[in-house]
Amino acid sequence: MLFNSSCAAQNLQRLPPIFVQNTTCSAEAFSLGPGQRVVSFTYYEGLTYDTVYKRDYFAGVAVNAEAIARQLPRDFRMRCVCVISYDGET
């Protein structure tokens, strides 16, 4: 079942102000305001530059984006969060 956005909008009116620096959103995503409809994917466990590119780790991202575009209303956005380690650093 999809999230009931009208209920969420009513609840958002009760929240204190939120600033972009206190979120995980980009400035662009934050500027779109509350009540966004988002499908989110997170990739971070054990990823290194080599595993991402040699194994084509993100090949499924484009497939997911196409499926979202086909099956959900146009106002849905896809968000991907990824942390890749370079030489053992995150």
What are the tens digits of pLDDT across the range 37-59?
A: 988 887 666 667 776 676 676 77
Grade residue 71 by pLDDT with cuts at 50, 70 and 90: very high
Half-sphere exposure at residue 81, Cβ-oriented, CA atoms within 13 angstroms: 12
**Is the confidence at residue 8, as pLDDT, over 70?**
no
Q: Are 38 and 76 in contact (CB under 8 A)?
A: yes
Phi then psi dihedrals of residue 18, to 5 deg: -120, 135
Mean pLDDT of 50-78: 82
| Torsion sign, CA atoms 80, 42, 68, 22 | negative
